[in-house]
Amino acid sequence: MSVPSAEAVRVLLVDDQPLVRSGLRVLMADTGDLEVVGEAGTGGDGVRLAAELRPDVVVMDIRMPGMDGIEATRQITAGTEAVKVLVLTTFDEDDHVYGALRAGASGFAVKDMAVEEILAAIRVIAAGDALIAPGVTRRLIADFVRAPSAPAAPPRERTAQPLAGITEREREVLTLVGRGRSNSEIAAELFISAATAKSHVSRLFTKLGARDRVQLVITAYEMGLVSPPR
């Protein structure tokens, strides 16, 4: 078992399944840079422990008895911006992706992802980035396409449209956000620093009046920068 470093990411696990919490705790104990500082089996206990322990990241399940993960996320993020929430759930069984992200979650991952991907997602969130698993991004776009308010033109007829006030670099960044890339992944693909990628995303929020990353994904679809899943 690795000994957590002084700068280890402090993690609170909130899931009503003890086996899930135990598995994640054991895996993080071997990393050296992730430290589980608390566990909760209900949303209410998660909110209480988040206030007491002030972890860097809360790994939050959605479906729990009593207060669910969406309300718990809302209360935790309303209390402080310093605590980030990574929603970890079985996506295909949940219809609450929008609610969780709107509640203030910094990222969304699925339980059937590879273990290393889940641990990497925690690190991404702790670093101040935001992450939506590519599979979740594809589902978000698919849901938008099926919505009654979705544009009538079929996806194959969509062509990229100009965006007023958006630079060519910001357009590239918006395209990658629409494909589910995190800020660090955007930086790697465009050969820029992570700080620069984050700045581009921040400017997109301001210029497009977007509240969260999900709205940027939808904008990327609407403007024909990305296509819905087949």
For residue 34, what pLDDT is reported?
95
Strand partners, 173: none
Same fold, 9-128 and 136-222: no
The CA–CA distances, whole Å, from 72 to 21, 88, 97 equal: 17, 13, 14
Q: Which amino acid is at 124?
A: V
For residue 157, what pLDDT is reported?
43
Are the CB atoms for 86 and 107 separated by under 8 Å? yes
Residue, of 4 and 25, whose pLDDT is higher:
25
Specify the fold of 9-128. Answer: Rossmann fold (3.40.50)
In the chain, pLDDT over 70 holds for what percent of residues? 76
Query: pLDDT averaged over the chain?
Result: 81
Are the CB atoms for 47 and 21 separated by under 8 Å? no
For residue 146, what pLDDT is reported?
62
Those residues with Cβ within 8 angstroms of residue 152's Cβ, 6 or more apart along the chain or in another chain: none
- Domains in the chain: boundaries: 9-128, 136-222
**Could you report the per-residue pLDDT of 142-169, keeping only the tens digit for each?**
666 565 544 433 333 444 555 778 999 9
What mean pLDDT is predicted for residues 95-103? Answer: 70
Q: Is 88 helix (H, G, I), strand (E, B) or coil?
A: strand
* pTM value > 0.85: no
- pLDDT exceeds 90 at position 175: yes
Task: Tell me whether strands 57-60 and 9-14 are parallel, antiparallel or unpaired.
Answer: parallel
SS (H, E, C) 118-137: HHHHHHHHHCCCCEECHHHH
**Could you report the per-residue pLDDT of 15-49, keeping only the tens digit for each?**
999 998 999 999 999 898 999 999 999 999 999 99
CATH 1.10.1670.40 assigned to domain 136-222? The reply is no
